[in-house]
Amino acid sequence: MQVTAQILEPFLYERIAGKISDLIEKGTLRPGEKVPSVRRMSNQEQVSISTILQAYFLLEDRGLIEARPQSGFYVRLKPRALPPEPATSHPPALASRVNISELIANIHDAVLDPEMVPLGGAVPGEEMLPVRKLNRILASLSRNADITTHLYAPVQGTPELRHQIARRSIDQGCSLTGDDIVTTFGCTEAVNLCLRAVASQGDTIAVESPTYYGFLQIIESLKMKALEIPTSPKSGICLDALEAALRKHPVKACLVTPNFHNPLGALMPDHKKKNLVELLSRKNVPLIEDDIYGELHFDGERPKVCKAFDRNDNVLLCASYSKSISPSLRVGWTAPGKYLQQVKQLKLTNTLSPVTLSQLAVAEILKSGGYDHHLRRIRRAYSSLVQIFAQAIGQYFPEGTKVTRPEGGYVLWVELPSSVDSMELYRKAREQKISIAPGSMFSAKQHYRNCIRLNCSHLWSDRLNDAIFTLGRLTSELMRK
């Protein structure tokens, strides 16, 4: 008898796991809420940290809680199928002047306001940047800087940085040399210079639809026209539609983000990249490729770039370290293929010389080997954060909501039921101190009125959980209007 009683007696960690699962069952701890920290439970229950960890691992195995990177354990959102995915877009095949800067300027302030829950801008969460390492490198570089750091640097950029970028191009499927590269003031300057190198005022640029609003602003400022092309949230720009558009319109360049598109998260498969490069080369239309999110893949190998399939030097590849190291260093680059001389020339009149200290700091991070470790850490975090956000949207948003399934990057594109005006949602969310990016920002013709883009790069917290809950409630209210 006694033996049986001993066998049936639960282990300490099982007893603690039982306590927590009771709290979840009774609703004291709700889905998405944080479970008491391991240390707090250990003090409260007067047991060791490892016993609490064992209890939490058991609950994790049972699917009741989940660990979130650098944040602790949370009650799992009810296992519910994610909302369906949005379909391929179908913008009208019209080239149009862009008039979007005012809308974006108004929204941009809110997007960057530190008082707001930061779901609007595609700014990396501060925990995702290698701040300490960067500070150490900057301090050491400034301490040891000689006069060359303070003079003009070569217009093409510091050789150290170009060498490091070229070295990493092997992972992109290319074999660039430092001489192929021009460093720029962020990816924004790279795209700006490339567009100016291949097209002029009044020319038509084919873009994905939706597209990153920064591209639309550049196209507007250069007085060019945007031609929005249907785009799949899974595999990017539709080649049939692009080919038809090239037959009908005098397209001067095509500007795309094939790896983890902003805002759709789409990843173009290799065979499609190859076909895109060949199609544009046949038609003699330069391809400007933005690969700013290429290193932020959740699984497997880093995806190749279109430039890897470029046999005619027709691809102008652009990227920056704004999403993985620091947006404020403003270190970007382009490998503009046969347009190298034009881009160098434009760079000279645009910014003359790079900021040497920023460039040396990035070169040092790339060289020291810490960069790949850092990338692995943030890729893991983004993968789980995007999943958590998508589940929370499934939980809190009304029936009829759709959400993308990115395989990299950190933004989600949410299609709300068609009656919901995302500008109205944006205003109401702003009153609640939540920033979101309304869909109209991502289209020259301000389509996607019922869509929003959400930034999922911040560590999950009660504040974020409440913000998604509030957005879901506001969306339901707007549906009933």
Residue 231 near ligand PLP by CB under 6 A: no
From 232, 322, 356, 443, residue interacting with ligand PLP (rule: CB under 6 A):
322
CB 353, min distance to ligand PLP, A: 18
Whichever of 52 and 346 has its CB closer to ligand PLP, that residue is: 346
CB 327, min distance to ligand PLP, A: 5
Token pair for 16: 């603690």
Residue 340 near ligand PLP by CB under 6 A: no
Site for ligand PLP in 441-480 (CB under 6 A): none
CB 439, min distance to ligand PLP, A: 15
Residue 209 near ligand PLP by CB under 6 A: no
Residue 332 near ligand PLP by CB under 6 A: yes
From 42, 54, 188, 401, residue interacting with ligand PLP (rule: CB under 6 A):
188
Whichever of 121 and 394 has its CB closer to ligand PLP, that residue is: 121
From 192, 262, 450, 475, residue interacting with ligand PLP (rule: CB under 6 A):
262
Print burial letters for 173-193: b (CB count within 10 Å at least 16), e (below 16): bbebebebbbbbbbbbbbbbb
Binding mask 105-134 for ligand PLP (x = CB under 6 A): -----------------x------------
- Is the bond preceding residue 159 a cis peptide, omega within 30 degrees? no
Whichever of 42 and 211 has its CB closer to ligand PLP, that residue is: 211
Cβ atoms of 231 and 238 within 8 Å: the answer is yes
Q: Which stretch binds ligand PLP (CB under 6 A): 183-191, 267-275, 333-341, 381-389?
A: 183-191
Residue nearest ligand PLP (C-beta atom):
186
CB 262, min distance to ligand PLP, A: 4
CB 131, min distance to ligand PLP, A: 17
From 55, 129, 134, 187, residue interacting with ligand PLP (rule: CB under 6 A):
187
From 86, 118, 157, 186, residue interacting with ligand PLP (rule: CB under 6 A):
186
Non-local CB neighbours of 342 within 8 Å, separated by 6+ positions: 197, 198, 336
Cβ atoms of 83 and 403 within 8 Å: the answer is yes
> What does the alpha-carbon distance between residue 103 and residue 446 come to, in Å, rounded to a whole number?
10
Residue 327 near ligand PLP by CB under 6 A: yes
CB 332, min distance to ligand PLP, A: 5
Residue 214 near ligand PLP by CB under 6 A: yes
Site for ligand PLP in 278-307 (CB under 6 A): 290, 292
**Site of interaction with ligand PLP (CB under 6 A):** 122, 186-188, 212, 214, 257, 262, 290, 292, 320, 322, 327, 332
